[in-house]
Amino acid sequence: MSEILYGSEIAQTVKDGLKKELDQLRLQQKRIPKLVVVLVGDNPSSLSYVTGKEKACSAIGMDHELIHLPEQTTQSELMNVVQRLNQDAAVDGILVQLPLPKHLQEREILLAIDPKKDVDGFHPYNIGRMMMQDPVYLPCTPKGIIYMLETIGLDDLSGKEAVVIGRSNIVGKPVAQLLLNKNATVTVCHSQTKDIKEVAKRGDILVVAVGKPRLINHEWIKKGAVVIDVGVNRDEHNKLCGDVDFEDVKDMVSYITPVPKGVGPMTIAMLLENTMESYKRRENIYGI
Ligand code: NAP
């Protein structure tokens, strides 16, 4: 029997928990955690992602600020903004929305963010800590995927084969590492993988992060697999869809995430959770 794994529902539970904590902080008249999102330019997808993050903060009562800079912002202007936020004691989380306009050096900007405020988990310091299984902040989409697997009882993945399609720094590589940390035997595929459908078919867990509408059909799927579809695409009718052909595979899998309402809402919930963690560290609530 197949089940649809609604990230939207799991994310709501996470957000409800955070809201309770925030209500409590307000009651105690404590400082409220704050997330600052920096957006450069007017890329429509980025604008919609940023709006989603703002709405999520408002809904749970987390402080937030959007710094919306013009497209022609220079590298040094953006660096100054990041450095100011690093030093601002009221700011717990800094997120620079990617992609940046082409004239800006993305890597230099990400490196400039204080790793303790890097709630996106993209700073090499945080990536390194993740590799060493000593995480500070996990990148939000991979963290959300692992969280979803845990909710269906997939905590220890010993003896399971996990196949990840896609090797980006923000999804494919980190999710592969997190699956490995959970004892899965992990294979990462990409555009140069030979016999990719055969490789994909080995996956008890198949994570797809490619960015090609409905690329994955039943020929790629092991019967009973858990399928996590990270892709967010528009099809030929401009309809939102994932990388997986949901209708074609849904009856042969054990679990599958839909698009929308799958991985996307989890990414935002994990961003809020990382910001709360940063706050607790900075306020010394953990005593560390
Ligand atoms: P990306 O940086 O463009 O990476 C895509 C990966 O897919 C690359 O590793 C590429 O291989 C591989 N690939 C491309 N065509 C392939 C094919 N035909 N067969 C096998 N592999 C192929 O993408 P990304 O940033 O990881 O994002 C992937 C998708 O996830 C996008 O739709 C994006 O919008 C979505 N996304 C969603 C969320 C969310 O929260 N829901 C978060 C992040 C991303 P090479 O490395 O060989 O080029």
CA distance 32 to 63: 6
Assess if CATH 3.40.50.720 describes domain 140-264. yes
DSSP 8-state code for residue 93: E
- List the chain residues with pLDDT less than 50: 288
Q: What is the pLDDT of residue 14?
A: 98
Contact in structure between 126 and 106 (CB atoms under 8 Å): no
Q: Is the pTM above the cut of 0.95?
A: yes
3-state SS, residue 268: helix
Q: How far is the first Cα of the chain from the last one, in angstroms, to the nearest whole number?
A: 45
Assess if CATH 3.40.50.10860 describes domain 29-114. yes
- Give nearest CA residue, ligand 1 atom 18: 191
* Fold match, 29-114 / 140-264: yes
Contact in structure between 101 and 117 (CB atoms under 8 Å): no
Could you state, in order of their start, the residue ranges of all structural domains in the chain?
29-114, 140-264
Question: What sign does the dihedral 269-22-130-100 (CA atoms) show?
Answer: positive
Q: What is the pLDDT of residue 288?
A: 47
Among 48, 98, 168, 220, the mutation site with the greatest number of ligand 1 atoms within 8 A of its Cβ is 168
Q: What is the pLDDT of residue 285?
A: 77
State phi, psi for 83 to the nearest 5 degrees.
-65, -35
What lines the ligand 1 site, CB under 6 Å?
Answer: 141, 165-168, 170-172, 189-192, 196, 209-212, 215, 230-233, 263-264, 267
CA distance 159 to 31: 45
